[in-house]
Amino acid sequence: MKISQKLISGVLGMVTLSGTIGAISANQQLNIAKYLAQQEAEEVAGLLGYFVSRELESQKMRSRDEMLAQLQENVEALHKRQRDLEIVDRNKIILADVVPEDIGTRLDHDLHNEVGKTIHDGIPRPMLKPVLNTQRGFY
């Protein structure tokens, strides 16, 4: 084998190796981002649940409408901190949302019933929410 062929083979090998390492790295970064998004969502849900239950314990019984109004205020406050969330009941009816027009409607954009399964067994699942004018959604 000539020296030029050895050099070309070596360069091609390095280019192939660099491309492979880059693809693996990009895939790992995507997986880490998804994991962190899910962890953040679980943390926000836990905190919201804590504060809602604490509020219910510390105050006298209020009407359902007053409790839902307070829940909506909490959702709007979290939305100001760049959090997009919906709160649903066991039947997946939206009780509070950053989009007020969606309140009272049924949550139907969990394509594989991720929310229904989570309500049933309590195991958090990632859900891809569709975004208008795009093929991709977001967590």
The per-residue pLDDT for 71 is 82
Query: Which tokens belong to 91?
Result: 């039947």
Query: Cα–Cα distance between 43 and 124 in angstroms, integer?
Result: 11
Query: Cα–Cα distance between 23 and 18 in angstroms, integer?
Result: 9
- C-beta separation of 83 from 44 below 8 A: yes
- C-beta separation of 97 from 87 below 8 A: yes
Query: Which tokens belong to 2?
Result: 């000539």
The per-residue pLDDT for 134 is 47
Question: Global pTM?
Answer: 0.62
**pLDDT tens digits for range 59-80:** 666 777 887 888 888 888 877 7
The per-residue pLDDT for 42 is 82
Q: Which amino acid type is present at position 58?
A: S
> Is the pLDDT score of 84 beyond 50?
yes
Tokens 């083979």 sit at which residue? 9
**pLDDT tens digits for range 9-57:** 999 999 999 999 999 999 999 999 888 888 888 887 777 777 777 766 6
